[in-house]
Chains A and B, each alone.
Chain A
Amino acid sequence: GAVVSQHPSWVICKSGTSVKIECRSLDFQATTMFWYRQFPKQSLMLMATSNEGSKATYEQGVEKDKFLINHASLTLSTLTVTSAHPEDSSFYICSAKHDTGRMDTQYFGPGTRLTVL
């Protein structure tokens, strides 16, 4: 149980285009999902917290207009990288919080490798 999928697993795009990444909780409902960015050989950096039916909360330094997050249902959150540039190339990971009433746990998707040419 507690499986999270992420699509696509990798994407290559041209500079200036937009890319959408989907995060789905497959066997549980998630009122809260999280988006992370991970640079090579580094830890996960939280970008934003996504709550179903409300606006996402962005961490300091993360551009809201560049990284659009939509959490339209209890099983789906999307991250759209708008007008992507080479510096946006990275590994993006989502997680979904499994609400059990006690010790809610984040389960992670497999990640998306974005390369912007």
Chain B
Amino acid sequence: AQTVTQSQPEMSVQEAETVTLSCTYDTSESDYYLFWYKQPPSRQMILVIRQEAYKQQNATENRFSVNFQKAAKSFSLKISDSQLGDAAMYFCACTNSGAGSYQLTFGKGTKLSVIP
């Protein structure tokens, strides 16, 4: 079974500053994918960024980047130049491809507040 741990229930960041959200995971799979999803107050889950475990290069999407440390099983999300619209719940997730269905295992989430 996979587990995903987000140790920061809440975080805050000043607008235009940088913040890093932590995520650790545990899996017995050799091939897996990692994701960060954002859930704003509308509750629509939005894909932020994704990473293939076999790729050493950290994924980047505009102001969002990850620090993927495979040996440490760590997958943190860095948000640069934070904007008010970044305020949301952020969920880290890992796939379970063992059954071929690519089920996602989610962490409990980190609530990010952006201070104007």
Nearest chain A residue, comparing its CB with the CB of B111 = A41
Q: Complex formed: what's the CA distance from A104 to B106 in Å?
A: 16
**Nearest Cβ in chain A — how far from B93, in angstroms?**
8
Nearest chain B residue, comparing its CB with the CB of A110 = B44
Q: Which residue of B43, B47, B107 contacts A110 across the interface (Cβ within 8 Å)?
A: B43
Nearest chain B residue, comparing its CB with the CB of A32 = B101
Q: Complex formed: what's the CA distance from A110 to B66 in Å?
A: 25
Interface size class of B (residues with CB under 8 A): 20 to 34
Q: Complex formed: what's the CA distance from A74 to B104 in Å?
A: 20
Interface size class of A (residues with CB under 8 A): 20 to 34
Of the candidates A51, A91, A111, the one having the most CB atoms from chain B within 10 angstroms of its own CB is A111
- Whether A46 lies near B103 (C-beta < 8 A) is yes
Interface residues of A (CB under 8 A from B): 32, 34, 38, 42-44, 46, 49, 51, 57, 91, 93, 95, 97, 102-108, 110-111
12 interchain pairs, CB-CB under 8 A? A34-B103, A42-B109, A43-B91, A43-B109, A46-B103, A93-B43, A95-B104, A97-B101, A102-B52, A105-B47, A108-B44, A111-B43
18 A-B pairs besides A32-B102, A34-B104 with CB distance below 8 A are A38-B43, A42-B108, A42-B109, A43-B106, A43-B108, A44-B45, A49-B103, A93-B45, A97-B102, A104-B102, A105-B35, A105-B47, A106-B102, A107-B47, A108-B37, A108-B44, A110-B44, A111-B43
